[in-house]
Amino acid sequence: MLKSILSAAILATALVAVVPSAQAQVKMGTLDMNAIFTQYYKTKDAEAKLNEARAAAKKELDDRLETLKKAMDEINKINADLEKPELSKDAKDKATKSRDEKVNDARNLDREITEFRGTRERQLQEQFVRMRKDIIDEIMKVVNDKVKAAGFDIVFDKSGMSMGQIPVLIYSRADLDFSKEIIATLNQNAPKTPAGN
């Protein structure tokens, strides 16, 4: 019993002596992954493409809604005509048949619009997820290359939040952050914008 207590005490003393020297050799760094992502030129390009796709989808949806509105106006006009007492039975039957066809067409168009809206939203979401994944993969390659080249042991994302919306990294020295180096590397091949833009 005394022997095992002595062994534990010696092991604890040895660990206490080793831990500070191990900590002194650990090279840590921090990154602001949110800043890196937003300042990468390809993120801005992807956002512009996504906004163009959204605008095109909105225009297409607006055109379809305008067609539906016109169809509803025609149906309302026929309904108003059907109320006229001077309308003959034949004219009334013809107008009723025309109205019923237009109501059926309008229902089909309304269903198409609902499906179009859902499909486009899903496609845009998938496009966003794909673009984001590709950009993050590119960023992580540059980060991993830098981490290996600089010999970092641990790197924290200081923009990360815990489940309780509390920053994961409470404090770090400013000189540990190498986000600007990563941003510069990522943007070194950015297309030059023409003067005046």
* Domain coverage including residue 113: 27-186
Q: Confidence band (pLDDT; 50, 70, 90) for 185?
A: very high
Task: Evaluate whether residue 12 is within a structural domain.
Answer: no
Task: Evaluate whether residue 93 is within a structural domain.
Answer: yes
Q: How many structural domains comprise the chain? A: 1
Task: Evaluate whether residue 14 is within a structural domain.
Answer: no
Q: pTM value?
A: 0.69
C-alpha pair distances (Å), 9 with each of 2, 14, 17, 35, 83: 10, 9, 12, 48, 101
Residue 102 has pLDDT above 60, yes or no: yes
Task: Evaluate whether residue 194 is within a structural domain.
Answer: no
- Are the C-beta atoms of 146 and 178 separated by less than 8 Å? yes
Please give the average per-residue pLDDT across 123-151, as a whole number. 94
Task: Evaluate whether residue 9 is within a structural domain.
Answer: no
Lowest mean pLDDT among 19-28, 41-50, 140-149, 151-160: 19-28
pLDDT score for 179: 93
Task: Evaluate whether residue 17 is within a structural domain.
Answer: no
The whole-chain average pLDDT of the chain stands at 85
Structure tokens at 123: 């496609």
Q: Taking the mean position of all CA atoms in its chain, how far away is CA 74? A: 41
Task: Evaluate whether residue 195 is within a structural domain.
Answer: no
Tens digit of each residue's pLDDT (9 = 90 or more) over 146-167: 999 999 999 999 998 888 888 8
Task: Evaluate whether residue 20 is within a structural domain.
Answer: no
Name the residue among 42, 29, 27, 39 with its Cα closest to residue 157.
29
